[in-house]
Amino acid sequence: MSDTAQRIVLATRPTGEPTAENFRLEHTPLPEPDDGEMRVRVLYLSLDPYMRGRMNARKSYAKPVEIGEVMEGGTVAQVEVSNHPDYHRGDIVLTHVGWQTHAVVGHRQVLRRLTEAQAPISTALGVYGMPGFTAWAGLEEIGKPESGETVVVAAASGPVGATVGQIARLRGARAVGIAGGAEKCAYLRDELGFDAAIDHRAPDFAEQLKAACPDGIDVYFENVGGAVWDAVLPLLNDFARVPVCGLVAHYNDTSLPPGPDRSAALMALVLTRSMTLRGFIQNEFSARYPEFLREMGRWLHEGKMRYREDIVEGLENAPEAFIGLLKGRNFGKLLVRVSHPD
């Protein structure tokens, strides 16, 4: 058992792309739990695009991380010291303690208890956790793909996109994935069973997407924005549904792009195609989380849902991994292995 903790705090706010200088690694004494609390040691830290929004001073959909505060993030952790009767040393829990090796938590901060018998514990940060639920809820509540419809998703080899495409297929829809590079596209087609996969870096990307969607697009699960959205927009069918889950292509934007102003044209398309654009964050649908866990748990057990993890070793490497995430450098759910379980 180590006698010091490490944590990564927000040192300065980024302008545009984050850099290593925006983060600072700190060493602190091990925190000691009070009565009813426990100290946990982080095993896995999840790195997710939403964290970029937390680095800005401006509220996006959650309050920002303050300068000097520990970067926020979901974690799988193991109980090291417990002063709570329901938890024991060695228990593994899903919690949200951020970019640090150790933390003191109360039982209310434990989101779920985890056992390897349910699913590999790291999946509680991916397909069997928040990203998976984001995919499931966005389709259940907004996208509502019907059999035979075409569902398109970008960042499709990531934990949300990969899950969106596989759920779409399980619901009887066609899944078309967009990803960066031939290797990711091959993975989508060959390992996840997407009906088509398009490389957004291809010079004829828009034409390829059109060819892959001969009946247009009924559901576009938006997590990227930018050039992908521009290519998707003309292909959207009447009554298309667009769950707007993320806009990672714009997270580093520092000013509005030059004109012409296409915002009224976008509204006109929403009107004439009777389209639905609906922004969401998964926690608004948390009442359905138990239902998600049952269905996803079954799919995982039956081998109907596949996932891929991209694991970086060591908390100190989290900033570089996170910077790469925003550039699409990861391949699969990006996790930091902070420590090994007992």
Candidates 62, 68, 75; CA nearest to 105 is: 75
Q: Which of 17, 204, 207, 253 binds its own copies (CB under 8 A)?
A: 253
**What's the min distance (Å) between Cβ of 279 and its own copies?**
4
Name the segment binding its own copies (CB under 8 A); options: 24-32, 151-159, 274-282, 310-318: 274-282
Q: What is the DSSP letter of 271?
A: H
The answer to the question of residue 162 lying near its own copies (CB under 8 A) is: no
- Cβ(48)–Cβ(333) below 8 Å: no
Q: Which of 201, 250, 327, 329 binds its own copies (CB under 8 A)?
A: 250
The answer to the question of residue 61 lying near its own copies (CB under 8 A) is: yes
Residue 24 burial by CB count (10 A; 0-12/13-18/19+): exposed, middle or buried?
Answer: middle
Dist CA 93 CA 110 (whole Å)? 6
Structure tokens at 231: 């290519």
Helix (H) or strand (E) holding 300: helix 289-301
* Closer residue to its own copies (CB): 90 or 234: 234
**What's the min distance (Å) between Cβ of 179 and its own copies?**
21
**What's the min distance (Å) between Cβ of 194 and its own copies?**
24
Q: Which of 260, 287, 302, 303 binds its own copies (CB under 8 A)?
A: 260
- Amino acid present at 216: G
Quick one: the chain helix, strand, coil %, rounded to 5? 35, 25, 40
The answer to the question of residue 203 lying near its own copies (CB under 8 A) is: no
The SS3 of residue 189 is helix
CA atoms within a 13 Å half-sphere pointing along the CA-CB vector of 147: 1
Name the segment binding its own copies (CB under 8 A); options: 179-187, 272-280, 294-302, 306-314: 272-280
Q: Are strands 150-153 and 174-179 parallel, antiparallel or unpaired?
A: parallel
Q: What is the footprint of its own copies within residues 20-59 (CB under 8 A)? A: 53, 59
Rg (CA), the chain: 21
Dist CA 116 CA 45 (whole Å)? 17
The answer to the question of residue 273 lying near its own copies (CB under 8 A) is: yes
The answer to the question of residue 280 lying near its own copies (CB under 8 A) is: yes
> C-alpha angle with apex 304: 286 to 154, nearest 5 degrees?
65
**What's the min distance (Å) between Cβ of 222 and its own copies?**
7
Q: x-or-dash pattern for its own copies, window 228-247, by CB under 8 A?
A: -x---------x----xxxx
- State how far the alpha carbon of 101 is from the alpha carbons of 5, 75, 323, in Å: 6, 10, 20
The answer to the question of residue 187 lying near its own copies (CB under 8 A) is: no
The answer to the question of residue 202 lying near its own copies (CB under 8 A) is: no
**What's the min distance (Å) between Cβ of 266 and its own copies?**
5
The answer to the question of residue 332 lying near its own copies (CB under 8 A) is: no
Q: Which of 281, 291, 304, 320 binds its own copies (CB under 8 A)?
A: 281
Binding residues for its own copies, per CB under 8 A?
Answer: 53, 59-61, 222, 225-226, 229, 239, 244-247, 250, 253, 255-281, 284
